Amino acid sequence: MKKFWRCHVCNDIHYGVKAPEICPTCLKENAYVEIASGEAQRIMSVAQITIDKPAFVQAIKAFAAKCEFQVNPDQERVELLLEGMFNNEANHGLKYCPCRLIEKDFSKDIELICPCNFLVHETYQDKADGECWCGLFIKKEIT
Amino acid sequence: MKKLVMFHGRECPHCRKMMPLVDKMIAEEGIEIEKLEVWHDEKNADTMRSYREVITPKCGGQLRVPTFLNTETNDVECGELEYEKLIGWANR
């Protein structure tokens, strides 16, 4: 079961089954202590961070940079998908994939937040030209 | 609601690609199909959710769009289809 963990040195927050051995922010070893979700939310509320479309594109390109996939070079397609995701965030609270519908069951719906775990999609797995269901991410060509 | 339904999303590229083919099928084949947008119309979204048990086994376990549903036979296709396959579904 996932829990919240707080670095006692720099207040870095981690949500996971176990604490990181080294804090990625301050590099202190064995620095995490388990905390309540309310405490974690209070600490995270200090930072008011927003992500607009250019920042999101930059984020997903950085995410894909060292992976076997890339952001689709088809700009028109990416723009349409971004419009859908940001409309979904405005209307439904999170950047849900515009090519699938939420079921109103949050434990399932969080699997539709972009980027999702598209590595398991049948449109991506075992295909040289695989892509996520919506086509935002495509496999890099092997040269 | 008509017998044949297309569930689609306004900002879904697959849906945008399929829409001209659906319109062509309506114009050339005289097939009646109802188009229900699901991300900006909650009533349509709830209609799609009400067919969850029918749709998800054939669409990767999810409510993907576009989904083509025959509400009488529960015959389902999802994703981008060749025109002939779309007509085949509509006439089954």
Q: Closest-CA residue in chain A for B12? A: A99
Interior/surface letters A30-48, b for 16+ CB within 10 angstroms, e for the rest: ebbeebeeeebeeeeeeee
What interface predicted TM-score (ipTM) does this complex get?
Answer: 0.93
Q: Are residues A37 and A57 in the same domain?
A: no
Q: Reduced to 3 states, what is the DSSP secondary structure of residue A97?
A: coil
In which domain, by residue range, is A59 found? 53-139
Mean pLDDT of chain A: 95
Mean pLDDT of B3-10: 97
pTM here is 0.92
Asked if A98's CB is within 8 angstroms of B39's CB, the reply is yes
User: Among all residues of chain A, which has the CA nearest to that of B61?
Assistant: A121
- % residues pLDDT > 70 (chain B): 99
Under 8 Å CB pairs connecting chains A and B tally to: 60
Whether the bond between A73 and the residue before it is cis, its omega within 30 degrees of 0, is: no
Q: Tens of pLDDT along A11-68?
A: 999 999 999 999 999 999 999 999 999 999 999 999 999 999 999 999 999 999 999 9
Substitution target from B6, B12, B42 for chain A, most A beta carbons within 10 A: B12
A131 and A71 both lie in a single domain: yes
pLDDT at A143 over 80: no
| pLDDT tens digits, A91-110 | 999 999 999 999 999 999 99
Residue of A nearest to B53 (CA): A103
User: Domains along chain B?
Assistant: 4-91 (3.40.30.10)
Closest CA to A33 of A63, A56, A11: A11
Overall number of domains in chain A: 2
Q: Are residues A40 and A60 in the same domain?
A: no
Q: Answer whether B13 sits within 8 Å of A134, measured CB to CB.
A: yes
